[in-house]
């Protein structure tokens, strides 16, 4: 199902789909780029479309070869979520060190191609934790509403280890 798969890719760690399942996204949080050692755990997300033969065809791979913001240990694709028509795609990387060690990041992608395009989704923005605390794990879980204009993000580390934190973000209109 994925090209050049290796033991430890953890293909299927998280998945999401449109309401009719015509488009699905599947993550592999242990996926490494060709040439990386097996402990890199950068992660990748694969986008599939249901074709006329009722089989899923790989349309797009979002990994270090196509998206430069993924680093070793990020586990990009830890959680994936999309709205009902697939217009908005949210991908988390709770072990991202962009703001602080394992503070976490969430990435918003927008559907810019038609359903036959091999580059269906384009990166729009990275969302970091409002606090950016060490070991916060922002993006341990994510959800997008059916309209695709708001997301909720759970931080496993939150403000402390006992209480959890939920952050809600509303996407501004594209201009």
Q: What is the pLDDT of residues 134-164, one digit of tens each?
A: 889 999 999 999 999 888 888 888 654 444 4
Q: Spell 105-136 as b/e; 16+ CB within 10 A means b.
A: bbbbbbbeeeeeeeebbebeeebbbebebeeb
How confident is the model at residue 167, as a pLDDT?
53
User: Is the predicted pLDDT of residue 121 greater than 90, yes or no?
Assistant: yes
How confident is the model at residue 168, as a pLDDT?
56
Confidence (pTM): 0.88
- Are 16 and 24 in contact by the 8 Å Cβ rule? The answer is yes
- Are 42 and 76 in contact by the 8 Å Cβ rule? The answer is yes
The Cα 38–Cα 19 span in angstroms is 35
Average pLDDT over residues 73-98: 95
More confident residue, 130 or 4: 130
How confident is the model at residue 51, as a pLDDT?
92
User: Is the predicted pLDDT of residue 77 greater than 70, yes or no?
Assistant: yes
How confident is the model at residue 159, as a pLDDT?
59
How confident is the model at residue 165, as a pLDDT?
46
Average pLDDT over residues 2-9: 78
User: Is the predicted pLDDT of residue 124 greater than 70, yes or no?
Assistant: yes
| CA-atom Rg of the chain in angstroms | 16
- Of 67, 156, 141, nearest in space to 109 by CA: 67
Average pLDDT over residues 108-122: 85
Lowest mean pLDDT among 88-92, 106-110, 118-122, 138-142: 118-122
Report residue 136 as tokens. 């916060």
């Amino acid at each position: 199902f994925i090209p050049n798969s290796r033991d430890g890719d953890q293909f299927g760690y998280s998945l999401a789909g449109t309401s009719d399942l015509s488009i699905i996204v599947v993550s592999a949080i242990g996926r490494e780029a060709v040439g990386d050692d097996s402990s890199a755990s950068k992660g990748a997300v694969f986008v599939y479309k249901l074709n006329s033969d009722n089989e899923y065809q790989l349309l797009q791979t979002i990994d270090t070869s196509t998206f430069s913001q993924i680093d070793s240990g990020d586990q990009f694709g830890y959680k994936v979520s999309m709205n009902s028509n697939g217009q908005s795609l949210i991908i988390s990387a709770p072990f991202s060190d962009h703001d602080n060690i394992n503070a976490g990041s969430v990435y918003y992608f927008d559907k810019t191609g038609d359903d036959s395009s091999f580059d269906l989704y384009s990166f729009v923005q990275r969302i970091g934790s409002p606090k950016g605390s060490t070991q916060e794990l922002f993006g341990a879980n994510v959800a997008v509403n059916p309209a695709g204009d708001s997301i909720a993000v759970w931080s496993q580390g939150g403000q402390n280890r006992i209480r959890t934190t939920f952050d809600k973000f509303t996407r501004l209109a594209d201009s």
